[in-house]
Amino acid sequence: MDENKVDINSLIGFFLIGLIFIGWLYLNPPPPTPVVAQEENSEVNLENESPKQDLSEVLSESNINESEDSNLSFENSLSKKNELVRIDTEKFIIEFSTLGGQISSLELKGQLNYLGEPINLIQSGNSTFNLDFTTKNGRIFNTQDQTFVSSINDRGSVKQVSMKLLVSEDVFIEYLYSVNLDDYIIDLDINSRGFYNILDTSKRYNLNWELSAFRNSKSISYENRYSYLTYFHDDDKIDYLSISGDDEDDEENVNWISFKQHFFSSVIIAENENPFKNVEFKSEDLVQDNNTDTLYTKKFISKIPFDYSNSEFDNSLKFYFGPNQYLQLQTYDIGLEESVDFGWGIFGFINKNVFVPLYRFLSGLFPYGIAIIFMTIIVRIVLAPVLYKSYLSQAKMKILRPELDEINKKFKDNAMKRQQEMMSLYRKAGANPMSGCLPGLLQIPVFYALFMFFPSAFDLRQKSFLWADDLSAYDSILDFGFYIPLYGDHVSLFPILASVSIFFYMKMTTGQQMASQPQPQEGMPNMTKMMKYMIYFAPIMMMVFFNNYSSGLSLYYFVSNLLSIGIMFTIKNYILDEQKIRQQIQFNKSQPVKPPSRFQRKMQAIMDEAERQKKNKQ
């Protein structure tokens, strides 16, 4: 591998990733989906929903009339009066509605959206929670249509809200919510009494939960990219529906389902020992145009079937309503932290075990923007030996370039022989082109890990630095008032600074690389010209691609490039001495050549055989 391809490979790889993202988002737009605003207490029709009816009608048509309880009535089901039960905790303000017995609003404390308004995960009918079950006469009944009777029980750090759908004192369905006053978790017990004469227990009853996610960030496309339905199953597997467009799926043994927005989630959690046996998921993309304001980003739907227990409802589950803060989610020890997208494989491992604790430590000592700078300094110092190895390899290749050019001319018509002579020269001089490529490859996991870290770092949300009022969003300094495809409707400053810095960094490094580049053979691509183009193409791509991204990410790349320029300048002028390197190469040539390794012998044998076959054909 030619030495001069070292650093440029990782840069080319990154910008190819950028092209793939852009092509994915703009060449394959999601199919249009009509957005229907929902009014407060509105109905969300399920696929199997029958026309609305009161439980009293169901009772009058069911076998309960033939039992000794045939005189039971259900007067409260005839009333559609909506009464609210409000509870104020340390984490949120929650209201329960007697219409449907469900959560009607949930406002997170201390969290604001891009307009400075409180974050509401549930409000104005954007969420419906419903049980549907089949009676013995084949009618389908929905609890969301009925009026419950509420009561509150204060248990110190926990407040219990009971919502009962009453037939009588002995016949009812109850939702028992236990609200922890100092946590984001809400427990829910669903039970019933006296329904054995009504239910068709040969069929399951279904828990249906739907939620339309409110837009909370400045960039609709950026927030929507990180909003998706994700679920944890089989105790150790995480999966999710499509990020763009509509998608649906089903899964068995589900531990929890998260209606994940960019920085907040609404999660339904199964009992530890009783995962949901089977769940149907659906996600709808409600954003039709990224440059048009919209109320919602996505609509999430889940349908969870349950079996009856002794002909009654009997199930327990939990809800989590709160931030996608990795360390907070980790405290529950049920894998909720896996919903935070820090990347897969080694990238996620680096983020979870290095950058998350490192940034948490630094942000506890310094303001959040300064913490990013210090973290960047630490990363560049750790990677400084990699830069040194890369530059040393480039320096050796620069010194060997005249001899490599001579070999190219001498064996221009014999590629196999040319390659053999080059390998022989590398062995004699103690130079290895691979030693230049490997340092660049070692930086890729760190580079991509940080690319995933900053957009998902909750700690950056609404933290200001210099002109950026929110390090988790773009830092606009000029709004156009119109939308430019690919770029956006504004100008962000940090991406421009990062683009300028990467221009000078590439100008500096590619100069060394082009000096060590052998003259290309006829028919071979001219890497020198490609590098010249990349000097200008890469900064433009960065400026366009990062214009809508987290300003914290652009700040990191800006500082990182400045530090890289400083480190390379120091290595070139104060650490490496080309004269000493030249003397070392000449000394290496004068020494006996080390016997080739087993791999080198095998490669040599392959090339010799190929050369022999070529001569036989001639």
In tens, the pLDDT along 156-169 reads 889 999 999 988 78
Q: Is residue 252 a contact partner of residue 277, using CB atoms and an 8 Å limit? A: yes
What's the pLDDT score for residue 284?
93
- Nearest Cα to 398, choosing from 278, 257, 516? 516
Out of 2.70.98.90, 3.30.379.10, 3.50.50.60, 3.20.20.10, select the CATH number for domain 50-341: 2.70.98.90
Which parts of the chain have pLDDT scores under 70?
A: 1-80, 291, 412-415, 425-440, 510-531, 577-578, 581-582, 584-611, 614-615, 618
* Predicted pLDDT at 239: 92
State pTM to two decimals.
Answer: 0.76
The predicted pLDDT at position 421 comes to: 72
Residue with tokens 């210099």: 466
End-to-end alpha-carbon separation of the chain, Å?
29
What is the reported pLDDT for 598? 65
pLDDT value at position 537?
85
**Which sign, positive or negative, has the C-alpha torsion 562, 567, 573, 576?**
negative
pLDDT of residue 40: 35
Q: What is the three-class DSSP state of 332?
A: coil
Q: What is the pLDDT of residue 43?
A: 36
- pLDDT value of position 93: 95
307 phi, psi to nearest 5 deg: -90, 150
What pLDDT shows up at residue 150?
Answer: 92
The domain segmentation of the chain, as residue ranges, is 3-26+354-607, 50-341
Name the token pair of 55.
């439980």
pLDDT at 296: 92
Tell me, what's the pLDDT at 22?
Answer: 54
**Would you give the distance in Å from CA 38 to the centre of its chain?**
28
In one-letter notation, the amino acid at residue 120 is N
